[in-house]
Amino acid sequence: MKIFRHLPSTYPLSRALAIGNFDGLHLGHQALLSKLVDVATQKGLRPAVMTFEPHPREFFMPGNAPARLSSMREKLEYFEDAGVQDVFVIRFDQAFSAITAQDFMQTILRKSLHASTILVGGDFCFGAKRQGTVKSFIEAGFDLIDFPPVIIEHERISSTLVRNALAAGALEKACELLGRPY
């Protein structure tokens, strides 16, 4: 697996790209990564992930960001185990937060990363002021795999749900949501 801490000016191999924070790598993330690798294999693309450091909430709310469930090292290990071939760890800073949704799609995803297929959750937003949505990818001509949420006991699995279980002392529930011991 290749890890990129800076965006390449161009990269000749086409990719299927999952974008997100992947904090905790819970069952929802695991299902998304499995789908990523399957879709990439079917289409002859490299399975790739874009994630952020620091977490955008740490950037926007430094004193009020949620506790992390996993370190970057843990994420990278899981990405590799899942079959991801390229990981782009994007420095989330003032300059990155100001990129418009259009520039993100055209300059970063198309020109720099050669991403043709995008996998994100249905509530995914991106770009300055969160102006880009799942619909933006479709309008820009990307092959979008809009990944449905994974539900357990009528609840959408999320990093927040895992954090809440841990805060309530419900370690067994947290482990169920993560699909592994915490």
As a whole number, the mean pLDDT across the chain is 93
Q: How confident is the model at residue 65 (pLDDT cuts 50, 70, 90)?
A: confident
3-state DSSP: the chain helix, strand, coil percent, rounded to 5? 40, 20, 35
The answer to whether residue 65 sits within a structural domain is yes
Could you tell me if residue 157 is inside a domain? Answer: no
Number of Cβ within 10 Å of residue 41's Cβ equals 12
The reply to whether 173 falls in a domain is no
Please check whether residue 158 lies inside any domain of the structure: no
- The number of domains in the chain is 1
- Domain interval for residue 62: 2-150
- The CATH number for 63's domain is 3.40.50.620
How far is the C-alpha of 173 from the C-alpha of 153, rounded, in Å? Answer: 11
pTM for this structure? 0.92
Nearest to 21 by CA among 99, 126, 156, 150: 126
Task: Say if 25 falls within a structural domain.
Answer: yes
> What proportion of the chain, given as a percentage, has pLDDT over 70?
99
Residues with Cβ < 8 Å from 122, sequence gap 6 or more? 134, 146, 147, 148, 149
Does residue 168 lie within any of the structural domains? Answer: no
Residue 13 within a domain: yes
Q: Which helix (H) or strand (E) holds 91?
A: strand 86-91
Q: Single out the residue of 39, 104, 61, 129 nearest to residue 17, CA to CA.
A: 39
